[in-house]
């Protein structure tokens, strides 16, 4: 008991307000329908935004193999250094791929009018599982054009590598095909993001409202918030059954219920 009193005094002096977790949970349950409606509404808005306002994009990829010249036709043996050299050449080939001259040749070969900067942003390449095989991916709003550009890269890059690096070559492992589905946006992802945003925002608003609520509801508000002693409390008369009121005795000490719709000449049950 003394510990509780001391804690209340410290909170009153420092202005610290305790957060009642159970009170917050009760507020959440009380406003559960508002939370559900707002969350579903935000999810629907996010879905509609992704479906109607974001242009879908598609990806088409071609796989290529790096040959450093050590693996000639008919050669049955190779060492670890040859394999390491092929892996290291992947980064070099990617730099050659992203060069201005290579991408301009790709646009010319594909027959598309796209600037170098835009085409560079559409093309990406990376090694597959740290091997000497790398994948070239083209992202575009047109699936057929993305496939055309990816296959054009598979034709132009070996020619460019042969011109720049002697004794090395690039071979096509897998050509690009027209994608069957869009790459982005993901309607499921956007819907879940909208749902989470609506849920978090609604819960945050409820928490703020509860923390800013300064209405005196019980004795603990005065004792914990202002460290004031409670001398008396007024009973909640509205909590009684409808149709009843209270009638006080001669000195206001005896309180007995009576019916509000009693006859004019009569009194409550047991009232003499």
Find the CATH number of the domain harbouring 88.
Answer: 3.30.70.1130
Residue 151: domain span = 58-174
Task: Judge whether 238 lies within some domain.
Answer: no
78 within domain boundaries = yes
Q: What is the C-alpha separation between 104 and 116, in angstroms, rounded?
A: 6
Per cent of the chain over pLDDT 90 is: 49
Contact status, residue 179 vs residue 60, Cβ threshold 8 Å: yes
Per-residue pLDDT, 175? 95
Beta strands 133-140; 255-259: pairing state: unpaired
pLDDT score of 86: 63
In a domain, 256, yes or no: no
Q: State the total domains in the chain.
A: 1
Please give the Cα distance from 195 to 46 (Å, whole number). Answer: 8
In a domain, 102, yes or no: yes
Q: Whole-angstrom Cα distance, residue 126 to residue 104?
A: 20
Q: What is the pLDDT of residue 18?
A: 66
- Per-chain mean pLDDT for the chain: 79
Q: According to the model, what pLDDT value does residue 168 have?
A: 73
**Exposure b/e, 23-45, CB count within 10 A at least 16 = b:** eeeebbeebeeebeebbeebbee
pLDDT value at residue 221:
60
In this structure, is residue 65 part of a structural domain?
yes
The pLDDT assigned to 89 comes to 81
pLDDT at 195: 97
- Check residue 172 and give its pLDDT: 92
- pLDDT by residue (tens digit) across 38-96? 999 999 999 999 999 999 999 999 999 987 654 444 444 445 565 566 667 888 899 99
pLDDT over 70 percentage in the chain? 64
Among 22-31, 97-106, 226-235, the minimum mean pLDDT is found in: 226-235
Q: Is there a contact between 88 and 130 (Cβ–Cβ < 8 Å)?
A: no
Least-confidence region, from 165-174, 176-185, 254-263: 254-263
Is 151 inside a domain boundary? yes
In this predicted model, what pLDDT tens digit does every residue of 211-251 receive, in sequence order?
887 666 666 666 665 666 766 666 666 655 454 444 444 44
The reported pLDDT for the residue numbered 224 is 60
First to last CA, the chain: 46
Q: Considering the domain boundaries, does residue 202 fall inside one?
A: no
The predicted pLDDT at position 268 comes to: 46
pLDDT in tens, 125-154: 999 987 889 999 999 999 999 999 999 999
Q: Does residue 226 fall inside a structural domain?
A: no
pTM of the model: 0.65
pLDDT level of residue 199 (50, 70, 90 thresholds):
very high
């Amino acid at each position: 008991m003394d510990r509780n009193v001391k804690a209340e005094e410290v909170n009153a002096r420092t202005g610290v307000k305790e957060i009642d977790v159970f009170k917050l949970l009760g507020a959440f349950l009380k406003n559960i329908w508002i939370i559900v409606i707002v969350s579903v509404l935000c999810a629907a808005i996010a879905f509609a935004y992704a479906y109607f306002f974001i242009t879908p994009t598609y990806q088409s990829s071609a796989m290529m193999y790096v040959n450093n010249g050590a693996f000639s036709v008919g050669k049955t043996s190779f060492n670890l250094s040859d394999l390491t050299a092929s892996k290291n050449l992947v980064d070099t080939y990617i730099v050659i791929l992203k060069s201005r001259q290579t991408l301009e040749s790709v646009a010319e070969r594909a027959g598309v009018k796209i600037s170098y900067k835009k085409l560079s942003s559409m093309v990406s390449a990376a090694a597959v599982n740290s091997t000497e095989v790398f994948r070239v991916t083209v992202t575009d709003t047109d699936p057929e054009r993305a496939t055309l550009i990816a296959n054009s890269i598979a034709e132009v890059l070996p020619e460019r590598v042969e011109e720049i690096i002697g004794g090395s070559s690039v071979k096509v492992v897998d050509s690009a095909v027209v994608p069957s589905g869009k790459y982005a946006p993901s309607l499921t992802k956007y819907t879940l993001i909208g749902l989470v945003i609506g849920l978090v925002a609604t819960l945050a608003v409820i928490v703020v409202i509860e923390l800013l609520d300064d209405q005196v509801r019980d004795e603990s508000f005065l004792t914990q918030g202002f460290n004031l002693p409670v001398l008396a409390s007024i009973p909640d008369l509205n909590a009684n059954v409808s149709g009843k009121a209270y009638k006080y005795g001669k000195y206001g000490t005896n309180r007995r219920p009576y019916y509000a719709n009693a006859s004019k000449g009569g009194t409550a049950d047991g009232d003499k």
